[in-house]
Every structure is written in structure tokens, then in C-alpha cells.
Structure 1
Amino acid sequence: MSPVASTLWRSRFGTLYTSNAFVLFSSAADTATPPSKNESLSSAPSPPPIRVAVTESAGRGVFATRRIGAGDTIHTAKPIVSHPSLSSIKSVCYFCLKKVKTVAGAQPQGFSFCCENCKESSKVFYDVEKKADWLAFDDYCRTQGLKYPLLVKRLACMVISGAAPAGILDILQPASITQDMILKMEEGFHLLRNGLVRANIGDEHTSFLTKQWYTDVLARIRINAFRIELAAGVYEDLLSLASASIEAEAAVGNAIYMLPSFYNHDCDPNTHIVWIENADAKLKALRDIDEGEELRICYIDVSMSYDARQSILSQGFGFKCNCLRCLSGD
């Protein structure tokens, strides 16, 4: 990876991996920017009002460190890794997933970047990715209706380029996968590895890429990935297009984030995630939140019935929801 690309990646994503998890979350969540020459330190934005702690029944969670008002932006988060959906790949930026109006400057594969900054930043994966022929891998994902292997492929290219450590997702909770599921993942693993081998990327760069690594990463992505449903121009657009968010066609891609992955589920959440124009996530309060209260999001469509919610959460996320709404049978 070029020094310029490395600098841009660090600037965009910040410190994503450290042995001290709580230092990681503090820096990753901080939305403050350095004050300009005309600003004092006291006028700079404050760090986000949150902390990560262990809950009584749901593992790690995110808690408010002060009162948060309804509608407040709690913090923003940039993805560790993201990838456009195959159906949207020609209509969004290949790096940040922002919608693009034209395909001017599109690459031979048919995708494009929204700006020079995204084009330069994409070198953290694209300098490796463009060396291989991914037709068979993409066809496998398309015909099988799979989206998460695309994130694994992009992460693998980031690791090969030196932009990310192979264990960057190890801190995230993995989904429970059966032996049958692992067997079904093998085809994707072999297609990914073969694509890199045929591109003459040596073993010294791909030694991490074992079947165990592939299945471990995929298990973590399955339970922690966010579907980026809308990339609107302004926040008000999200309100007028809310009904579109439940349609598959509204998704522009998928992404993995660090801190947002620690938000636990609630069928009557006090927080939600919105995407204004690209893959940068905004965590916003749905109602007033008291100091010390846990911040929770809804992993699924809140309008579904009790039985439907329980079924999806059990099959897709591996837990029975015992939130107040579910306990009441609503």
C-alpha cells in the first residue's frame, strides 16, 4: 500500500485494532474534530456520551454517561469494512457506498468512485483486489444469494495490503454455525483463495487465509453486519423514504463497524442507526435517555409480530428476546 493510501486510510478509519479494547472504543466513537486556528480547545466538540460495559444478561453493551435528548446524534462510526450489494455496484461509490449519478470514470468491472479521495482511499484493498479475476466468486455470491462473503473478500485484500491485521474482527461476537454451514462455506473459501493464488499473490501474503480464518470471520460478519438501506442526501429524506427501508432494493450494501456492534437488541429501542449519504453510520436517540441507561437498537423490523420477531432473532441471531415489549407479548 502506498504511503498516501495508508495515511488516508488511517485518517478515515482511525485506530481500529489495539490490545486495549476500551481505548479502541473510546477513540473509534469520538466524533470530535481538532479545533481550527480560530477556535479554542474549550469550543471543540465533546467526546460522545457513552461507555462500553458488561451487562447482566446480554454480554457487552453501550451505556449513556449523561442524559441524551430525543433526536440527538450520539456518535458517528466509520466502517471497518464495507461492500456494495451486487445489485447496486454500478450505482454507488465502490468505497463509501455514496450514490453516484453517473458512471464517468468507471473501472472496467463497471463500478466507480464518488470522488478522488475515495478512489485514493480504496487502495487499501483495491490494489490487491484488481490483480485477481473475481468473476467466479461474484457469480457464486449472486447465484447463492450471498452478501457476507463479499465482505470477507474485501477484508482479505485489506489484510494482504497491510491495511488491517488478520484478527481485526476477533473481538466481535461470532454467530453459532453448524458443521453443515461450515461445509457450505467451503466453496466460497476455495473460490476466494484460488482467485488470489491465480493472481500470483504469494504464500507469504496469504498464509493467514485458511479455512478456519474464513469461517471465523464469516461467523462474526453474519451476526454483526449492518445492511445499509438508504443513502439519502439529507436527514429529512430518510423520513419521507422510511417505507422503502424494508425493501431489499433499498439496500446499497453491507458494512461492519466496531462500536455499533456492541449495541444490544431491543424490540422497543431507544436508539437507531441512520445513513445519510454514505456508509458512515449515525447513532441517534429515539427518545430521551437517562444517564446510566443502556443504549439499544433493533436488529430487525420493529413492526413485525411477536412470533415473527422471536423466530428471526432465534434463527438469525441465536437468542430469545426478553425485552419489555416481548415479555408483554406485544
Structure 2
Amino acid sequence: MAAGALLRRRGWKGSRGGLITPVSIFSGFSTGTEGDDVVSEKTTACASPPPIHVSITEEAGRGVFASRPIGAGDVIHTASPVVAHPSPSLLSKVCFYCLRRSCGGSRDLRYFCSDECRMKSEGFLEWEKKICWSAFDSHCIDQGLKYPFLVKRLACMVITGRVSPDILDILQPSILHQDMISKMEEEFELLKQAFLKAHMEDSVISFLTKHWYLGVLARIRINAFRVETVGASYEDLLDLASSSVMADSGVGNAVYMLPSFYNHDCDPNTHIMWINNADAKVKALRDIKTGEDLRICYIDASMDREARQSILYHGFGFQCHCPREGPFVRPVQISNRTSDICQTNRTARTEA
């Protein structure tokens, strides 16, 4: 890894080119082949696996590939987030659990769209209510930070036993330079102090070390998706505009497992969409052949070439040399996961 990186790469063991399909990667997924109407919301024991597999290649490292032909417009699979958090400016207008928009807002500090979402939130919500987050939240909002809120929620989920502290270790971390680390250390101290002031037992928060915080945040930075559900009204559009001004942009952010393994292309063959909540749907943009690499676009593909290159280089650690970018030039090795044809495992926008 390049100089200045804090964390070493952590991933699956296996020979290059080998097929990797651990059961945990496909948990929380369902499939469909004729559009959104046939996609079940939850995976059942008898549900067929997605028409894809994860493999390691010499050119791009880890990637997602079609295991059979996929037709244009097919929903390849859906995915529920490992962790999600609403945008701070929309807490009373977006479900605290699934990020579904409310019909008219809520008077409560935290809005839930259903009793089911409230019940599913009971574990981490209990601790989020008990602890005073004012210093941590104010710092993040003032600095325009969104990903530390995901770390906060993940920490509460770990405390309640809903997830393991190493749940995100399989994901690729970003490169952390010293100036970034210094800022993150300040966030960590505010988070840790919030737990300590709540008189949490040391054994309960023993996982909450600086190394854990930096490791989780390094993975969230390049694997979190900005969730943008379909707006249903004029008020929804106003909320989106407001959250964009406040650097939240979208209803919230979420981290997924399998979608995080999709490589990038400026002319992708798949895209990810959200209809009413944080459950992501991966859809084919054109006919896809068996064995073809499934790719999404990490950025706004309508931007000009210079803007795309700049964001991909500084935000995701690689130079794009796909056909849209012009003649092939071997990319500069600025991280441990670059490729010759604009492929990488970074699947989110970087922190502002």
C-alpha cells in the first residue's frame, strides 16, 4: 500500500481467478428477472441465489461476474444494508431504520415508518437514546461529515450483539493519510467520551479502540452509498435540495456487502437504485453475457472527462482508462487496487 496508509488490506484468501461465494455475502439478498414486481423483499430458504459470482482476477482484483445471461432491465438482486443512517437534516422526515420518506413529517425527533422498523431498531435505538451525542453530532454536522454517524450506529449495533465488531473487515479500506487520521482521531475521542460519560462498562466497549474506529471509517469512506430514493412529491424535492445544501444529499447513507464488490466503469452495464427505502436494487442496463464483469458507475457519468478523472483519482485512488476516457495509458499506482480499464472495488463517494 502507498506510503502514508494506515491500514493494510484485509480480504478473502484464495487463489487468483478462483470463485468466491461465501454464504454471508448473499444473506439479505433476493433475485428477479423481469423487473421490480417479481423481486421479493426478503430472501427465503428456498430462494435461488443471484445470477452472479464473486471472483478474483489479475486485472481488477475482486469483482462481480454474471453466472448466466442477464437481460436488459432485469433486476439482478436486491440488498439490505449492513448499516444505514438517515441524513442529519432529515431525521424527522426519513425513517430512522429503513430511510423511507414520511408522508408529512413527524413531530418526534426520530421518525419510524412502521412498527416493524421501530422493533428492528430496538437494539441500537436503546443505546442511542441513553447516550448524550451532542458534542459528537455537533462536530460532525459543523464539519459536514456524514460517515461518522454510520460508525456511531455500528458501534451501538455491536454493543447490543446484532453484529460482530469485524463485520466490515472483508471490505476494502481507503488509504488514510496523516492529516485525515488526525481529524478522525478527534472524532473518535468525541465518540468514546460519549460512551464513557454514559458509564458503559469497559468490557462492553472493549472493541471501541482507535484502531477499530479508523479501520471501520476507512472502509465506510469508499464503500458507503448515498441513498437517493425516488421522490414522491414536490416537498420531497425541496427536502433533497435542502439536504444537498447541507452536504447530506439524499435521504441517508448505507453500507452493503455484495454491492460493494462491484467494479467501476464510466459506461456501466448495471446500476443501483432505491425505490422507497434503503433496500438497494441492482438492475441491468443492457444485455449481459455469461462471465461478463458487472460494473456500476461510482460518480455522475454526465460530468466531463476532466471532472470524472479528478474525482476518481482523488476520491477512489485510481485513474480511469476505460474507452470513454480516451487512449489507453497504464494507470498510476496510487493504491493497491488499481486496474488497466478503470476497475476497482470502491463503491461510494468520499467524505466532503
Q: Write out per-residue CA displacement over residues 274-326 of structure 1, whole angstroms, 9 at most, x where no aligned residue.
A: 00000000000011111110100000000011111111011111111122222
Which position in structure 1 is the counterpart of 2:51?
49
Q: Given residue 224 of structure 1, which amino acid in structure 2 is its aligned partner?
A: N
The 3-state SS of whatever aligns with 1:75 is strand
Q: Given residue 73 of structure 1, which amino acid in structure 2 is its aligned partner?
A: V
The 3-state SS of whatever aligns with 1:288 is coil
Is the Cα–Cα contact under 8 Å of residues 21 and 53 in structure 2 kept in the other structure?
A: no
Q: Given residue 248 of structure 1, which amino acid in structure 2 is its aligned partner?
A: S
TM-aligned CA deviation for residue 327 of structure 1: 3.5
TM-aligned CA deviation for residue 45 of structure 1: 5.3
* Distance in structure 1 (CA, Å) of the matches to 2:298 and 2:183: 25
Q: Given residue 323 of structure 1, which amino acid in structure 2 is its aligned partner?
A: C
Which position in structure 2 is the counterpart of 1:248?
244
Which position in structure 1 is the counterpart of 2:89?
87
How many pairs were matched up?
Answer: 293
Which position in structure 1 is the counterpart of 2:136?
137
Is the Cα–Cα contact under 8 Å of residues 321 and 327 in structure 2 kept in the other structure?
A: no
Q: Write out per-residue CA displacement over residues 84-118 of structure 1, whole angstroms, 9 at most, x where no aligned residue.
A: 01111111000000001244572xxx121000000
* Distance in structure 2 (CA, Å) of the matches to 1:113 and 1:30: 24
Which position in structure 1 is the counterpart of 2:346?
none
- Alignment equivalent of 1:78, drawn from 73, 77, 80: 80
Q: How does 1:149-168 map to 2 (within 5 A)?
A: 149-168=148-167
* Distance in structure 2 (CA, Å) of the matches to 1:277 and 1:328: 41
* Distance in structure 2 (CA, Å) of the matches to 1:138 and 1:27: 32
Is the Cα–Cα contact under 8 Å of residues 262 and 294 in structure 2 kept in the other structure?
A: yes
Q: Write out per-residue CA displacement over residues 249-296 of structure 1, whole angstroms, 9 at most, x where no aligned residue.
A: 650100000000000100000000000000000000011111110100
> RMSD value over aligned CA atoms?
2.4
Which position in structure 2 is the counterpart of 1:61?
63
Q: How does 1:88-103 map to 2 (within 5 A)?
A: 88-103=90-105
Select the structure that is richer in helix. 1
* Distance in structure 1 (CA, Å) of the matches to 2:47 and 2:126: 36
Is the Cα–Cα contact under 8 Å of residues 30 and 43 in structure 2 kept in the other structure?
A: no
Which position in structure 1 is the counterpart of 2:320?
321
The 3-state SS of whatever aligns with 1:141 is helix
Is the Cα–Cα contact under 8 Å of residues 28 and 259 in structure 1 kept in the other structure?
A: no
Which position in structure 2 is the counterpart of 1:22?
22
Q: Given residue 260 of structure 1, which amino acid in structure 2 is its aligned partner?
A: P
Structure 2 gap segments, 5+ residues each: 1-11, 14-19, 32-39, 329-352
Q: How does 1:168-179 map to 2 (within 5 A)?
A: 168-179=167-178
Q: Given residue 222 of structure 1, which amino acid in structure 2 is its aligned partner?
A: R
* Distance in structure 2 (CA, Å) of the matches to 1:34 and 1:315: 37
Q: TM-score, normalised by structure 1?
A: 0.83
Which position in structure 2 is the counterpart of 1:126?
125
Which position in structure 2 is the counterpart of 1:193?
192
Which position in structure 2 is the counterpart of 1:219?
218
The 3-state SS of whatever aligns with 2:226 is strand
Q: Write out per-residue CA displacement over residues 130-166 of structure 1, whole angstroms, 9 at most, x where no aligned residue.
A: 1101111111111000000000000000001111110
* Distance in structure 1 (CA, Å) of the matches to 2:68 and 2:327: 29
Is the Cα–Cα contact under 8 Å of residues 152 and 214 in structure 1 kept in the other structure?
A: yes
* Distance in structure 2 (CA, Å) of the matches to 1:263 and 1:55: 13
Structure 1 gap segments, 5+ residues each: 1-17, 36-40
* Distance in structure 2 (CA, Å) of the matches to 1:252 and 1:27: 24
Q: TM-score, normalised by structure 2?
A: 0.78
The 3-state SS of whatever aligns with 2:130 is coil
The 3-state SS of whatever aligns with 2:294 is strand
Greater Cα offset, 44-53 or 187-196: 44-53
The 3-state SS of whatever aligns with 1:283 is strand
Is the Cα–Cα contact under 8 Å of residues 90 and 111 in structure 1 kept in the other structure?
A: yes
Is the Cα–Cα contact under 8 Å of residues 70 and 287 in structure 1 kept in the other structure?
A: yes
* Distance in structure 2 (CA, Å) of the matches to 1:55 and 1:304: 29
Which position in structure 1 is the counterpart of 2:311?
312
TM-aligned CA deviation for residue 26 of structure 1: 3.4
* Distance in structure 1 (CA, Å) of the matches to 2:47 and 2:170: 28
Q: How does 1:26-45 map to 2 (within 5 A)?
A: 26-31=26-31
